[in-house]
Amino acid sequence: MKKFLVLLGFVGLIACSSLSAQNNDSVQAIDRTEQATDSPAVDSTAEKTGTVSGFFSDMANALVAMVFGLLLFVGPLAMIGHMLYVNWKTRMLEKPLNVEHFIDKRTRKGVPGAMNDDEVELGFRLLDEAYNELTSVETDESGNEFHKPGTMKELLRAQKKIDEVGKLMPTDAALLERYNEYRSFLYDYLRRSFFASWKLIILCVLVAVGVAFMESGSFWKGFFTVGAFFWFPAIVYYISSQVPQYMIDRKNERGGGKGWFSTALVALGLGVLGSGYTVRTKWSDGSVTEDNSSHLIALFLGLLVLIAVAATIYIWAIVNYLRNYVLYW
């Protein structure tokens, strides 16, 4: 990590030095012009001013380059870390917790092994508040009303209340049973599965492999250098497209397909790729000639479109992250 940051700094400094060299050339040209009309004292002052301003310009450009490089590197890592944490936290809801788990946790924290009455009362109150966060009220076949989530944000607010019960380390049997029921209820709605375009991922992998073959030298070197610009965002896209079951159900109710737009783009590229045709000409002497040049044009344009579509996976990875992990829409 440190070596990478140092490298970014050097790259920024090199880029800035090339820019500053051009600036210094223009400053020197101005200085030479002024030398013909101004006094030596004025020339010396202008030269010092140009040197100082050039130094601060170099430092500012280097700082901008380093910040930009850090954003390009740290931003995706932070996004991946957040998504993995959310997925891990959701997976933890699947497993019911027993009394021994919380007794051991209480022992390690140095608190009494059993809950007192106030903690039990607080735990039940928090579970009631979590249940009341779900505003959609429906009736079962027996006429009993029950609450369901109306929005994804309601589920997340209910999850926070249930997490607070977990922090109480419940050991009361009735409270623990209800706590596990609520965790299971949350998991049914929050468990995640891939809901996007597999075709876009396959396309990116194929483009990465093709680029690696075209790269001079080792295939694996090309795959892990230039090819990484396609397969790495495909991994991010896969993780960012893990959608909560509640949102999948809502999309299915509205009739929205998974990854339909990106799939349509892939289909467009394949359509261009297969749009070539053969022109057969029959001459007066009975001979027949064929012109297959359109196949080469279609092949070139189709590959160009497919590579461009594969590059859009950067956009879809960010959009799906915001949609499925931040905004929930």
Q: Is the pLDDT of residue 61 over 70?
A: yes
Same domain, 225 and 200: yes
Question: What are the two backbone dihedrals, phi and then psi, of residue 280, each rounded to the nearest 5 degrees?
Answer: -105, 130
Q: Is the pLDDT of residue 5 over 80?
A: no
Q: Is the pLDDT of residue 203 over 80?
A: yes
Which residues lie closer than 8 Å to 146 by C-beta, 6 or more apart?
137, 138, 139, 140
Of residues 71 and 196, which shows the higher confidence score?
A: 196
Same domain, 205 and 295: yes
Q: Is the pLDDT of residue 321 over 90?
A: yes
Same domain, 41 and 108: no
Residue whose tokens read 């500012």: 60
Q: Report whether 215 contacts 222 (CB < 8 A).
A: yes
Q: Is the pLDDT of residue 193 over 50?
A: yes
The H or E element that residue 18 is part of is helix 2-35
Task: Count Cβ atoms within 10 A of the Cβ of residue 171 and give its class: 0-12 exposed, 13-18 middle, 19 or more buried.
Answer: buried
Q: Report whether 289 contacts 281 (CB < 8 A).
A: yes
Token output for 223: 């795959």
Domain end call among 162, 190, 218: 190
| CA atoms of 314 and 240, how far apart (whole Å) | 11
Confidence of residue 45 (pLDDT cuts 50, 70, 90): low
Same domain, 136 and 260: no
Same domain, 183 and 200: no
Q: How much is the average pLDDT of 196-210? A: 93
- The whole-number pLDDT of residue 25 equals 43
Q: How much is the average pLDDT of 108-126? A: 95
Domain end call among 166, 190, 214: 190
- The whole-number pLDDT of residue 144 equals 81
Q: Per residue in 131-163, pLDDT tens?
A: 999 988 888 788 888 888 989 999 999 999 999
Kindly report the average pLDDT of the chain as a whole number.
82
- The whole-number pLDDT of residue 121 equals 96
Same domain, 255 and 217: yes
| CA atoms of 277 and 233, how far apart (whole Å) | 35
Q: Is the pLDDT of residue 31 over 60?
A: no
**Nearest alpha carbon to residue 10 among 70, 62, 48, 84:** 62
Of residues 319 and 285, which shows the higher confidence score?
A: 319
Same domain, 224 and 171: no
232 — alpha (psi -120 to 50), left (phi > 0) or beta?
alpha
Residue 22 is part of which domain span? 2-71
Helix 260-273 with 198-214: angle, nearest 10 deg: 50
Same domain, 298 and 226: yes
In one letter, which amino acid is 234?
A: A
Q: Per residue in 244-283, pLDDT tens?
A: 999 998 888 887 667 777 788 888 888 888 888 888 888 8
Q: Is the pLDDT of residue 298 over 80?
A: yes
Helix 293-311 with 260-273: angle, nearest 10 deg: 160
Same domain, 118 and 240: no
Confidence of residue 16 (pLDDT cuts 50, 70, 90): very low
